[in-house]
Amino acid sequence: MLVSLFTLTAGLFATAFAFDCHGPYFSFYNRPGKALSYDLLDPAIFPGTSSPHLHSFDGGNGLAADMDFDTTQSSSCTTARLKPDKSLYWRPTLFWNGNNTGLYRVPDKFLKIYYKFGDAGNVRANVTEYPENHRMLAGYPAQRSLSANPGGLKWACLGENYKRIDSPDGSFPKGFTSCKEGLTAEITFPACWNGQSINPKSPHDHMAYPTNQGMSLEACPKTHRVARFPSIFIEFWYDVSAFDDRYRADQVPWVLANGDPTGYGFHADFLNGWQKGVLAKATAEAGFCNCGCGCGHDEMKQCFGADNVNDEGNWNSCTAGPVYAPDTSAPVDALPGCNPIQAGPAAATPVTGEGCAVMPANGAGPSDVKASSPVGSASRAAAFSVAFSTSKPVVTNGHYASASPSRSFDTMRHGNPANAYAMPTSILVPTSEEPNPIITLPSLLVETVTVPTGGVEYGRKKHTGGHRHHRRF
Task: Pick the more confident residue, 413 or 91.
Answer: 91
pLDDT at 356: 58
pLDDT at 296: 83
pLDDT at 243: 94
pLDDT at 211: 86
- Residues with Cβ within 8 Å of residue 103, at least 6 apart in sequence: 95, 96, 97, 255, 331, 332, 333, 334, 335, 397
Distance CA 375, CA 141 (A): 26
Question: Does residue 168 have a pLDDT over 50?
Answer: yes
Task: Pick the more confident residue, 206 or 216.
Answer: 206
Measure CA 448 to chain center. 27
Q: Where residue 355 falls among pLDDT bands split at 50, 70, 90? A: low
Residue-wise pLDDT tens digits, 425-461:
333 333 333 333 333 333 333 333 233 333 332 222 3
Which DSSP string corresponds to 18-57? GS-SSSSEEEEEPPSSS-SEEES--TTTSTTB--SS-EEE
Distance CA 338, CA 255 (A): 14
Residue-wise pLDDT tens digits, 11-56:
443 443 344 577 788 888 888 888 999 999 999 999 998 899 999 9
Residue-wise pLDDT tens digits, 249-261:
999 999 999 999 9
Alpha-carbon separation of residue 341 from 171, 336, 344, 397, 425 (angstroms): 15, 12, 9, 9, 11
Question: Does residue 164 have a pLDDT over 70?
Answer: yes
pLDDT at 324: 87
Q: How many CB atoms lie within 10 A of CB 105?
A: 22
pLDDT at 108: 95
Handedness of CA 410, 411, 413, 415 (dihedral sign): positive
Distance CA 199, CA 204 (A): 8
Measure CA 183 to chain center. 13
Distance CA 412, CA 451 (A): 9
- Residues with Cβ within 8 Å of residue 36, at least 6 apart in sequence: 57, 58, 59, 61, 63, 79, 318, 319, 320
The pTM score is 0.73
What residue ranges do the domains of the chain occupy? 2-316, 378-463
